Amino acid sequence: MGNADNDGYPPMESVADRRNHGVAIPPPQPFFKSLRNSLKETFFPDDPLRQFKGQPRLRRLVLGLQYVLPILEWGPRYTLEFLRADLVAGITIASLAIPQGISYAKLANLPPILGLYSSFVPPLVYAMMGSSRDLAVGTVAVASLLTASMLGKEVKASENPTLYLHLAFTATFVAGVLQACLGLLRLGFLVDFLSHATIVGFMAGAATVVCLQQLKGILGLARFTHETDVISVLRSVFSQTHEWRWESGVLGCCFLFFLLLTRYLSKRRPKFFWISAMAPLTTVILGSLLVYLTHAEKHGVPVIGPLKKGLNPPSGTDLAFGSPYLTTAIKTGIVTGVIALAEGIAVGRSFAMFKNYHIDGNKEMIAFGMMNIAGSCTSCYLTTGPFSRSAVNFNAGCKTAVSNIVMAIAVMFTLMFLTPLFHYTPLVVLSSIIIAAMLGLIDYEAAIHLWAVDKFDFVVCITAYVGVVFGSVEIGLVLAVAVSLLRVLLFVARPKTFVLGRIPNCNAYRNIEQYPIAKNVPGILILEIDAPIYFANAGYLRERISRWIDEEEDRLKDSGEDNLQYVILDMGAVGGIDTSGISMLEEIKKAVERRDLKLVLANPGSDVMKKLSKSKFVENLGQEWFFLTVEQAVGACNFMLHKCKVDTKKDESDEKWNNV
């Protein structure tokens, strides 16, 4: 092979030369200290208790209260300038929250007044406990659809409205308890299993289903299917063509066109954001006036009817813990709670990124949980941070969560004095508002981006969409999560392995497929393992490494190059290893030695080295075959190859001399 210096490879060094700076075996740690460190990294990666260190007892108490109630932290710094901005933002989102709240309550098959109740108490709780400055709290279409779909399978709202209402409160309570527990137990990472692709597909599917269901209101149909799949909905629509009301259809199309036009104008000119924000309330006012003046309710245009005046009545005693349908309420609460949590945290983080501040995901979970627990006891159903309302809040220039308080006060004023004005609001207006809001959730640009960047993520997205549209909301969610988990398992069970080559004129070793200029090192095969080695992937890695060796030997034989002598495994990306992984390395060592090759390990991590030492693998392989870097390993292997070649030539020379 020649001298390594002459070949342009790293300078040769003997094994003895590098023992002083070889791979260290970490000192042993007590079991409980190691367990504590592992738990801390799992549940407290942000180290929330750091701020309490070295503080006097009174200061710790203040910091603890500020952690639970962030309003105590930023409240003393609140200024009149902030109040002006929050007043404008709060009034603006209230104009959107009132018609949307009524609309989404109807979507959930609940009394319309509950939509207003849910925009009063929960925002007040979140303003005290939430860490986002931009999130606007309220009901959302997807959670409303889930509530109607899951509860409606067991109890029909039209047949037993009281039981249905109590189950909705119970589901909200369960969702709140789940959300708060996830935050308190620092289990927020579980929500991350709902990937971005899953949420994009699920939201688009749910939005499609919601839009199709609003055909009932647009066409003025009295009877409609309780199923959510597209086939059932379209069958219900077109089997009742004789009952379509043209008056309702014309009104619905006009109002929908107006809402979409205002949104288009606001997107083209962001400074006119208030146009689209005020549009829903404008349609409600115009629709109500039109019905009142023309008596359209007597000509087939259904209206909301009388709304109860006054603030939220208590509903703690209405929680149906003794109901035979409690299991359904618990299941509904878990599903809606997780979906609402994922949406709310994603929206909050998005706007926090724009304004360059941080929100604590676990603290947000606690805030969401407490506001839903409080809401379930005050005649509210599930709330979170909807994107449309939060976007309006952001564009309106909100400074703090006081905008939620302003919105809640505006809703309170509406509940106390203005609810009779909604008597003549036509249902077709609510359907138009819902459709306009839902069309914004069908993010086809995100789907196109997924296709361009990651085809598997696109498959996850489409799976969620198809599952929701052609099956049900629950089926779509389960399918999407299942495909996402399958991908996680594939990442773990089928990790990437690469052949590394040396970049010319430097000592870097990189993937030869990514860097075609990288050159193989003669007589040495360098492989990088790009994942932890566990029982799930040990068998695959054993077979894949063997195949890499077979392919390299075939390549050398075909090209007439020198035989393979060393196999170097770059362990830099191997963050952990279990007993199955250690057994795999032992099998690889034996298989390599049967081929008269030598196994070399480069850059093993602390945890890996500790376990290899305890299992006697280091002793069996020889600590001299563990190296800090690939460069160092290649240098040592080149030295051995050069030494072997010199010894071989010397032996041949001695043999010739003896023959003479």
DSSP letters, 403-464, are HHHHHHHHHHHIIIIIGGGGTT-BHHHHHHHHHHHHHTT--HHHHHHHHHH-HHHHHHHHHH
pLDDT of residue 651: 52
Quick one: what percent of the chain has pLDDT higher than 90?
29
The CA distance from 568 to 634, in Å, is 8
Task: State the sign of the Cα–Cα–Cα–Cα dihedral 457, 461, 462, 467.
Answer: positive
Structure-token pair, residue 228 = 């959510």
The CA distance from 4 to 9, in Å, is 5
The CA distance from 444 to 91, in Å, is 31
pLDDT of residue 4: 39
Would you give the distance in Å from CA 557 to the centre of its chain? 49
pLDDT of residue 3: 41
Q: What is the DSSP letter of 22?
A: S
pLDDT of residue 373: 96
Asked if pLDDT for residue 483 goes beyond 70, the answer is yes
At a CB cut-off of 8 Å and minimum separation 6, what does 166 contact?
318, 319, 320, 323
Cα separations (Å) of 175 from 171, 409, 455, 478? 6, 25, 33, 18
- 58-96 per-position pLDDT tens digit: 888 888 888 888 999 888 998 999 999 899 889 888 888
pLDDT of residue 210: 81
The CA distance from 408 to 137, in Å, is 10
pLDDT of residue 653: 52
If you average pLDDT over residues 158-174, what whole number do you get? 93
Contact 169, 319 (CB under 8 A): yes
Query: DSSP string covering 176-227, please?
Result: HHHHHHHHHTT-GGGGGGS-HHHHHHHHHHHHHHHHHHTHHHHHT-S---S-
Structure-token pair, residue 444 = 């086809």
pLDDT of residue 480: 79
Mean pLDDT of the chain: 84
If you average pLDDT over residues 533-562, what whole number do you get? 89
The CA distance from 176 to 371, in Å, is 7
Asked if pLDDT for residue 20 goes beyond 50, the answer is no
pLDDT of residue 475: 83
Helices (H) and strands (E) in the chain, counts: 26, 6
pLDDT of residue 2: 38
The CA distance from 47 to 458, in Å, is 35
Asked if pLDDT for residue 9 goes beyond 60, the answer is no
Contact 223, 240 (CB under 8 A): yes
Highest averaged pLDDT of the listed ranges 32-41, 49-58, 630-639: 630-639
Asked if pLDDT for residue 347 goes beyond 90, the answer is no
Asked if pLDDT for residue 17 goes beyond 70, the answer is no
Report the length, in residues, of the chain. Answer: 660
pTM (2 d.p.): 0.77
Contact 95, 277 (CB under 8 A): yes
If you average pLDDT over residues 513-538, what whole number do you get? 90
pLDDT of residue 46: 67
Highest averaged pLDDT of the listed ranges 177-181, 193-197, 458-462: 177-181
Asked if pLDDT for residue 186 goes beyond 70, the answer is yes
pLDDT of residue 656: 53
Asked if pLDDT for residue 571 goes beyond 70, the answer is yes
pLDDT of residue 1: 38
pLDDT of residue 16: 44
At a CB cut-off of 8 Å and minimum separation 6, what does 160 contact?
none
The CA distance from 599 to 587, in Å, is 11
- 266-312 per-position pLDDT tens digit: 888 877 777 877 888 888 888 888 888 888 777 767 888 888 888 99
3 state DSSP class of 534: coil
pLDDT of residue 5: 43
pLDDT of residue 6: 43
Structure-token pair, residue 114 = 């509950």
